[in-house]
A = this chain, B = another copy of it.
Amino acid sequence: MFIPQQKEEFFQMPTSTTKRDDILDSALTLFAERGFDATTIPMIATDAKVGAGTIYRYFANKEVLVNTLFQHYVTLFKETLEKDYPEEAGIREQFHHLFQGMIRFTNEHDHALYFIKTHTSAYFLDAGSREQFSHLLMILENFFEAGKQQGQIRELPSKALIAIIFGGFLQLYQLIRVGELEASAELLAGVEESCWDAVRHHS
Query: A residues bordering B, Cβ < 8 Å?
Result: 34-38, 118, 121, 123, 154-157, 159-161, 163-172, 174-175, 178, 180-181, 187, 190-191, 193-195, 197-200, 202
| Further pairs besides A157-B187, A197-B198: 11, Cβ < 8 Å | A36-B37, A38-B123, A156-B194, A160-B191, A164-B172, A164-B191, A164-B195, A166-B171, A167-B171, A197-B197, A197-B202
* Nearest B-chain residue to A37, judged by Cβ: B37
* Nearest B-chain residue to A173, judged by Cβ: B163
Bound form: Cα–Cα A36–B199 in Å: 34
| B172/A163 in contact, CB under 8 A | yes
Contacts of A199 in B (CB 8 A): 194
Bound form: Cα–Cα A168–B171 in Å: 8
SS class, residues of chain A in contact with chain B: helix
Bound form: Cα–Cα A159–B35 in Å: 24
Bound form: Cα–Cα A119–B155 in Å: 32
| B123/A156 in contact, CB under 8 A | no
Say how far A84's CB is from chain B's closest CB, in angstroms: 27
Contacts of A178 in B (CB 8 A): 121
Contacts of A159 in B (CB 8 A): 175, 180-181
| B190/A156 in contact, CB under 8 A | yes
